[in-house]
Amino acid sequence: MTRPEPPNLTRLELVEALRSYYRALEKYLDASGAREHMHRSDLDALAAIMDNSRRGSSLTAKQLAQEIRLSTSATTALIDRLEQAGHVTRKPHPNDRRSMLLETTDRSRAVGRELFSRLAQSMDSVMEQFSEDEMKLVTRFLEATAAATLRAAD
């Protein structure tokens, strides 16, 4: 009778470290959102809109719903809430009269800087402990892990 191979502790430790980081980030986002009186879905939506904007594109409400995995009606309510709070604006889509493009405002970008400056400062002190090559390796690993996670979700 053959014995099963023992688990690879390095991989288990890495998975546990990823889960630990995920839980820590969740706590940070919940606490930061609460300070700004924002729901977690609000933060997710703003992050998606900002990320697309940095890549030179804008999202429609339908695309946002798909990206943050909310129903279209829940996304409409979320966008209304963000618009009333001054975090997003809607502008006509240049190629589709029925669609509106979502854009962040100066206010939302300021709130984003406020929310994440503490985290960035804290993480900078950690990143300073690693060489550029180590940071490149970690980045490559995290990008591949994110892609694998998205593939598993589909």
Cβ-proximal residues to 38 (8 Å cutoff; 6+ apart), any chain: 85, 111
Q: Bridge partners of 60? A: 101
- State mean pLDDT over 23-41: 91
Helices and strands (H and E) in the chain: how many: 6, 3
State the Cα–Cα distance between residues 120 and 37, nearest whole angstrom: 21
* Tokens linked to 18: 């990823």
39 CB burial (10 A radius; 0-12, 13-18, 19+): middle
Integer CA distances (angstroms), 69 to 2, 30, 63, 98, 114, in order = 45, 18, 10, 21, 26
pLDDT digits 0-9 by tens, 33-88: 898 889 899 999 999 999 999 999 999 999 999 999 999 999 999 999 999 999 99
pLDDT digits 0-9 by tens, 125-153: 999 999 999 999 999 999 999 999 989 98
For residue 45, which of 58, 72, 64 has the smallest C-alpha distance? 64
- Residue 96 is classified by DSSP as -
